Structure 1
Amino acid sequence: MRLGVFLLAARFPDQDDASALTRTVEAAVAAERAGFDDVWLAEHHFMSYGVVPSATVLAGHLLAVTGRIEVGTAVSVLSTQHPVALAEQAAMLSLLSGGRFRLGVGRGGPWRDLEVFGTGLDRYEHGFAESLDLLLAWLRSDRVGWSGERFRFREVPVVPRAAVPPPVAVACTSPATEALAAARGLPMLLGMHVGPDEKAAAVARHGIHSAPHISTHVAQVADTREQAVATLMTGMPRWLGPGLEGYVAVDDRPRPSPDPVGYTRRMCDLHPVGSPDDCVESLVTTVERTGIRHLIMLVEAAGSRSATLENIARLGADVLPKVRAATS
C-alpha cells in the first residue's frame, strides 16, 4: 500500500508566485515528516491554478531537500515538450536521487501552451502515442535512432543512462488512453474527477489488474465531516475559480463556464473529506472497489499555508496508519 500527496502549487488569494512555490516545498517536506510514501507535482502554464511550469525542475529541488520520500510528476505534459528531453531529465533525476524519482506523463489539453511552445494542436490530438513510445525507448535503451511521423533523428547514445529506468505512469481520462497505456504495459494515473466505480471500470478496461495504478483524491480531515466540508466549501472556490479561468483553448473553442462551488461540492461527495474515520472509510472503499493500492491526496484544497500543513500532519497521524492497517 502506497499513500502520497498531490500538490498543485495553486496561487491562493493574496499570495504571489514565490509564496505559492515556497508553500509547496514546505508541504512536501511536511509530507515526508508525516509518513507519506511519495509526493506528486502538477505542471501548468500561464495560470494561477498551478504555478509550476516544469514538474521535473521542482522534483529535482524536492529530491535534494528530502531524504526518503519519492517524488513524481502528475503530470509532465508530453504534448508541449520533446520526449527525449523529458527522458533525459527523468534519467538524471533517478540517478541523482538513488531511484526516488517517478515519472507521470499525460497528453495535456488543447490549451494555448501548444501555440506558445510551437508544438501545435495536431501534436496534442494525434501525437501522444509516438511521443510516449520515443520516451520509453530512450529510457530503456543504450542508443536510440528514430524515424517516425513527428520525430526523426540518426542514432545517438543515451546519456545519462539509468540502469533501472524510473517508473512511468500515464494519466488516463478516456478509454483510448487507457488502451494505449495497457498496450505498453504501463499503469494508469486516474484523476480526481471520477469516483471509485468509474475508476474500477477503467481498471477493468485496462485489463492489467496487477499494474500499479494510481488513484488521485481530494483529502481534508477535521473533527467532523461537517467541519471538513465547511472548510473546503469556504476555501476551495476562492482559488479554484480564478485558476480554472486560465484554461484557454488554443483554437478558441468554447468551453463550459467553470463552476468552482459545484466542483468543490462534488469533490466533497467523492473523496475523503470528513473525520479521520470518514477519510479512512473513503480510502479503503476505493482500494476494495478498484484494487488500486496507490492513493495520492490533494492536501492543499482549503486554500492556505497553515491549513495545508495542518491537514498533512493530521492525515499522517490519524488516517494513514488506519488505512495501512485496514488494507494490509
Structure 2
Amino acid sequence: MTPNFLPQFRSPLHEPRTAVVLGRWLGAALLVCFLTGLVSHALQDPPGRLTPYLQSRPVNGYRVTQGLHVISGLAAVPLLGAKLWTVYPRLFEWPPVRNAAHALERLGIFVLVATMLTELFTGLLDTLQWYPWPFPFRQTHFWLGWLATGGLLVHAAAKGPLIVRHWRRPAAGLPQRRAFLAAVTAAVGAVTLTTAGRTVPFLRRLDLLAARRPDIGPQGLPVNRTAAQAGTVTVPADWQLRVDGPHPYRLSLPELHQLPQYEVELPIACVEGWSASARWTGVRVADLLVRAGAPAGSGLRVTSLEVEGPYRVTQMPAEYAVDPLTLLALRVNGEVLAADHGFPARIIAPNRPGVLQTKWVARLEVI
C-alpha cells in the first residue's frame, strides 16, 4: 500500500510503452554520440598502438564525425528529459528497497542517470567553451562515455523482457502518447535544426541557438584561441622556421614564400562541433621533410611560438606528414594569415582536429 505522504501520478504516459519508445530513440542518439566520440578521442590523442593506422583521408572525416557527435549529443538532451519524466514516478515506489537485488538495480539506475546527466551537461558547456569545474574535461568526458554506455547496456539487458513485451506498437494506442511523442520529436527537431548549421552548411541560415557561427571571425573563420591569449601578437622581426632532422636548416618568411606554393581547400573542424572550409596556401610539409633528410615513414613534432598551452607541442603521424594536402600555410582565402589565425605560419592538414592544426609555428622536428 502506498503511503499518503507520497505524490500521486495520474498521467497515463507514465507507463512502459512510452518509456520503451523514448528509450529506443535515446539509445540510438547515445550510441552515435559514443562511437563518434571514440573517433574524436583517437584522432586527438591516439594511443601509441593506433598511431600507425590513423588516416588522413577522407578529408572531411573529422568534420563529419565530430559534427555528428555534437548533433547527437544535443539531440539526446530533450530525449533524456522526456525519458526521465516518463519513468520518474518509480522513484517514489514503496517500499523503496524490496531486497538486495532490487537495491542493486536502483543503485545501477542512479549511477546511469547521474552519469548521463553529467556527460550531456559537461558536453553542452564544452560547446560554449565554458569549463567551471576543476577536473580535465576531455579525459573525464571520455571515461564517463564508457561508464554511461556500459550502464545503458546493462540496464537494457536487465529490462530485456519488459522491452520485448512493449517493443511493438499496440493495436489501440493512447492518443496522449501520440501527442507526447510528437511534441518530443518536434523538440528534438528544433534543437537539431537550430544548432547543426555550425557544421552542416545548408542549415547555416537556421543556426539560431548554436554557440558559434562558423563564418564569423577574422578572414571569415572563427577563432578559439587568439594571438593575445597565446602571447603571440608580436612575432620577432627575425623569425625563422627551424626544421630539425638529419639535415637541419632554417628558413625566413621571405624564403618560405619563395618556395613552391600550393593551394588546398580544407576545413577547420573543432571539438566544440563547428567547422568551416577555407582556401589555404603554403608549402607542403612533405617537401620540408624531404629537404631535412627525413627517412621514409617519419612523423613530425610541431612546436608553436606560444609560451604555454596544452597544444603548444603536437605530433603528426607519418600518414599526415606525407599527404600532399598537408601544408605549412602562409595565407588563407588569398590573404596573409591574420595574427589570430597563426601568422607567420600554421599547420593545416586533412581529417585532423582543429586543436592539432598548430598556429604560430616555430619549429618542425622529424621523429
Q: Same fold (TM over 0.5)?
A: no
Q: TM-score, normalised by structure 2?
A: 0.24
Q: TM-score, normalised by structure 1?
A: 0.25
Greater Cα radius of gyration, structure 1 or 2: 2
